[in-house]
């Protein structure tokens, strides 16, 4: 049985896209989900009605632009696992419906207090499929890795139901006690960094060494952070497999990391320039910056 330290380490690695951690956590969430589908479970009534009335179910996670977050990979794998159970038990399967975000966020949401999360003016816009909800009987299952203050899921629920969704239910891998969350919502940031501290160390290189690794937003922000800029060229050149390095480059550019700024200062452009030089040195991109 995994210890509390083991759980926290796995969660931290999960947040940065660790392949094994995503597989492990998605398995646990899938089993929890299926428990709710058994007779007497909280979701059984929803799925019985969907089956009886020929309705639909969208399974969603918090919005993203062109680079997924770990919660999106969690959602997709949970959907695959639970859909098998649904198919074998005569229920309609869920439809994966990613939520589109028009821009990448600037602030680190996990570091914000409960009050700031509640009152902040969002710098990004997520587009829920309101036209789908108004045209068809669609129920929403919202999947996320952790519930701290519940602001994200509450906002999604409010807009989904106002937009015409038949029902809205949430499932989380972890939930922080409300008393703790309201006192110190930034506990999420400490959970995220339990194993991955923010530097370019062996834990980061181990995550990036997996052949199937796909960049997530949190890892891009860590790698390209100005605090890691002195070590970045060496780390990129010697500690990251070439195919993963190229994925990082393509993902960062497609998510506008070259132009994200705060107070008029570009946050990641200089680190991307360093990455460009390393990729050119390795003959992985041409002079125009396109993969060779």
220 closest CA partner among 248, 197, 245:
248
Are residues 169 and 277 both part of a single domain? no
Please indicate, yes or no, if residue 79 is contained in any of the structural domains: yes
Measure Cα distances from 226 to 180, 200, 267 in Å.
31, 12, 7
**Domains contained in the chain, number:** 2
Question: Are 160 and 168 contacting, i.e. CB atoms less than 8 angstroms apart?
Answer: yes
Are residues 130 and 16 both part of a single domain? yes
Are residues 183 and 54 both part of a single domain? yes
Residue that finishes a domain, picked among 191, 207, 223: 191
Q: CA-to-CA distance for 37 and 22, rounded, in angstroms?
A: 22
pLDDT of 121 reads: 54
18-58, pLDDT tens digit by residue?
999 999 999 999 999 999 999 999 999 999 999 999 999 99
Of the listed ranges 76-85, 112-121, 175-184, 261-270, the one predicted with least confidence: 112-121
Are residues 224 and 113 both part of a single domain? no
Please indicate, yes or no, if residue 183 is contained in any of the structural domains: yes
Angle subtended at Cα 101 by Cα 95 and Cα 103, rounded to the nearest 5 degrees: 160
Residue that finishes a domain, picked among 191, 216, 234: 191
Residue that finishes a domain, picked among 153, 172, 191: 191
C-alpha torsion angle, residues 118, 125, 13, 251 (rounded to 10): -160
Structural domain range at position 181: 4-191
131-161, pLDDT tens digit by residue?
999 999 999 999 999 988 888 899 999 999 9
Can you give the CATH number for the domain in which 113 is found? 3.40.50
Are residues 124 and 203 both part of a single domain? no
213-260, pLDDT tens digit by residue?
999 999 999 999 999 999 999 999 999 999 999 999 999 999 999 999
Question: Are 194 and 8 contacting, i.e. CB atoms less than 8 angstroms apart?
Answer: yes
Are residues 178 and 214 both part of a single domain? no
Are residues 184 and 230 both part of a single domain? no
Are residues 90 and 182 both part of a single domain? yes
Are residues 145 and 216 both part of a single domain? no
Half-sphere exposure of residue 33, counting CA atoms within 13 Å on the CB side? 30
Q: CA-to-CA distance for 136 and 205, rounded, in angstroms?
A: 46
Are residues 168 and 230 both part of a single domain? no
Q: Is the dihedral of CA 39, 42, 45, 47 positive or negative?
A: negative
Please indicate, yes or no, if residue 289 is contained in any of the structural domains: no
Please indicate, yes or no, if residue 286 is contained in any of the structural domains: no
Mapped to the 3 state alphabet, what secondary structure does the chain carry? CCCHHHHHHHHHHHHCCCHHHHHHHHHHHHHHHHHHHCCCCCCHHHHHHHHHHCCEEEEECCCECCCCCHHHHHHHHHHHHHHHHHHHCCCCCCEECCCEECCCCCCCHHHCCHHHHHHCCCCCCEECCHHHHHHCCEEEEEEEEEECCCHHHHHHHHHHHHCCCCEEEEEEEEECCHHHHHHCCCHHHHHHCCCCCCCCCHHHHHHHCCCCCCCCHHHHHHHCCHHHHHHHHHHHHHCCCHHHHHHHHHHHHHCCCCCCEECCEECCHHHHHHHHHHHHHCCCECCCCCEC
Please indicate, yes or no, if residue 290 is contained in any of the structural domains: no
Question: Are 10 and 21 contacting, i.e. CB atoms less than 8 angstroms apart?
Answer: yes
Are residues 138 and 254 both part of a single domain? no
Are residues 173 and 209 both part of a single domain? no
Please indicate, yes or no, if residue 32 is contained in any of the structural domains: yes
């Amino acid at each position: 049985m995994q210890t509390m330290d083991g759980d926290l380490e796995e969660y931290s690695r999960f947040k940065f896209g660790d392949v094994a951690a995503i597989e492990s956590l998605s398995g646990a969430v899938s089993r929890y989900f299926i428990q709710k589908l058994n007779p007497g479970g909280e979701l059984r009534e929803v799925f019985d009605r969907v089956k009886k009335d020929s309705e639909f179910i969208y399974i969603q996670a918090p919005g993203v632009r062109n680079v997924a977050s770990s919660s999106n990979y969690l959602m997709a794998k949970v959907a695959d696992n639970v859909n098998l159970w649904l198919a074998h038990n005569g229920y309609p399967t869920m439809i994966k419906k990613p939520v589109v975000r028009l821009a990448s966020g600037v602030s680190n949401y996990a570091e914000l207090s409960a009050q700031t999360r509640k009152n902040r003016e969002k710098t990004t816009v997520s587009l829920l499929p309101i036209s789908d909800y108004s045209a068809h009987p669609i129920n929403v299952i919202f999947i996320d890795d952790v519930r701290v203050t519940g602001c994200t899921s509450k906002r999604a629920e409010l807009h989904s139901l106002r937009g015409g969704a038949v029902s809205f239910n949430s499932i989380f891998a972890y939930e922080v006690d409300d008393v703790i969350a309201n006192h110190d919502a930034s506990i999420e940031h400490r959970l995220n960094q339990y194993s991955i501290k923010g530097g370019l160390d062996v834990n980061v290189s181990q995550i990036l060494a997996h052949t199937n690794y796909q960049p997530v937003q949190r890892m891009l922000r860590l790698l390209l952070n100005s605090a890691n800029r002195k070590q970045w060229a060496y780390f990129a050149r010697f500690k990251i497999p070439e195919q993963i390095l190229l994925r990082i480059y393509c993902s960062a550019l497609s998510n506008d990391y070259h132009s994200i700024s705060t107070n008029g200062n570009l946050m990641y452009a200089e680190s991307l320039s360093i990455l460009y030089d390393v990729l050119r040195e390795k003959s992985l991109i041409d002079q125009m910056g396109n993969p060779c």
